[in-house]
Amino acid sequence: MNKFVLDAYAWIEYLNGSERGNAIVSIVDNKNNEIFTSAATLSEVLSKFLRTGKSEFIAINSIHSLSSVVPVSSDIAVGTARIHHDQKKKNKNFGMLDSFVVATAQNVDAKIITGDDDFKGLKNVIFI
């Protein structure tokens, strides 16, 4: 079984049905794959939907029905801080929310799906 963590970029593209989002439909819909989402990512996607006038229920329900939402545990919080610290040395634009995605992926031993260039150079990242 393959494991994947979708970041906000991937979820927004997927939920919008964009060309990039369609590129991951087969991954998300494949019952042999496990899909995970950081709780921090859920918040980020919901914020984007609220700011653009889209239904928050679509975002919440879709993410919950299509993935396992991983809560921010103490272990993930500590890992996030370390990742953020290390990545900021290489990329001053690397965000804390991106760090939550990386820490979550490490916690569940999964690959990250994104279109965010800030993830370039990281291991186990699939770009859409």
15 within 8 A of 41, measured Cβ to Cβ: no
**DSSP letter string, 14-51:** HHHT-HHHHTTHHHHH-TTEEEEEEHHHHHHHHHHHHH
Q: pLDDT at residue 8 above 90?
A: yes
Domain contains 56:
yes
What's the pLDDT tens digit per position in 77-124?
999 999 999 999 999 999 999 999 999 999 999 999 999 999 999 999
41: CATH: 3.40.50.1010
Domain contains 120:
yes
Domain contains 2:
no
Task: Give residue 96's domain range.
Answer: 7-127
pTM for this model (two decimals): 0.94
pLDDT of residue 21: 93
pLDDT of residue 18: 95
Helix, strand, coil content of the chain in percent (nearest 5) = 60, 15, 25
Q: How many domains does the chain have?
A: 1
* Edge-to-edge strands, sheet with 125-127: 68-70, 33-38, 2-6, 111-114, 125-127
Q: pLDDT at residue 64 above 90?
A: yes
115 within 8 A of 127, measured Cβ to Cβ: yes
